């Protein structure tokens, strides 16, 4: 009877350890996910500040930058900017970091998508750069 009791106690202890270790990993993943999401939000705020109003004098000053990453690859969306008053080097660095973090978040969360391809916008100047 004592052997059975010891076997049962060992089984309960083993189950408890496996459950706790699994929840610790999940908690660690959740905090990493939240950290990446917060960093993505900060970068989006930076990008919006860098782009500003996107004022332009002609359509040659208008462009777009890829934002985010779909789980199947390719950009999630595009941001329109004007080269007239935008530090494009800084903008491209921030956008590249945004893509990198989005890819990491997709891997971490096991994200899936329809794998549709976002088409780059056609842009023009109408005092500000706009997508046509």
Query: Which DSSP state fits 55?
Result: B
Residue 7: predicted pLDDT: 52
List the chain domain ranges. Answer: 26-131
| Pairwise CA distance, residues 120 & 26, whole Å | 37
Question: Are 85 and 55 within 8 A, CB to CB?
Answer: yes
Residue 14: predicted pLDDT: 45
Residue 43: predicted pLDDT: 98
Question: Are 80 and 61 within 8 A, CB to CB?
Answer: no
The mean pLDDT values, 10 residues at a time, for the chain of 132 residues are 48 46 53 96 98 98 97 95 98 98 96 91 98 92
């Amino acid at each position: 009877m004592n052997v059975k009791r010891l076997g049962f106690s060992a089984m309960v202890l083993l189950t408890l350890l496996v459950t706790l270790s699994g929840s610790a990993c999940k908690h660690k993943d959740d905090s990493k996910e939240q950290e990446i999401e917060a960093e993505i939000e900060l970068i989006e705020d930076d990008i919006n500040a860098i782009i500003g109003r996107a004022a332009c004098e002609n359509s040659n000053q208008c462009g777009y930058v890829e934002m985010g990453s779909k789980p199947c690859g390719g950009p999630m969306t595009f941001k329109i900017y004007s080269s007239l008053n935008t530090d494009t080097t800084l903008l491209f660095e921030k956008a590249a970091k945004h893509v990198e973090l989005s890819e990491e978040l997709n891997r971490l969360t096991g994200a899936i998508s329809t794998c549709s391809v976002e088409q780059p916008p056609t842009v023009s100047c109408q005092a500000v750069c706009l997508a046509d």
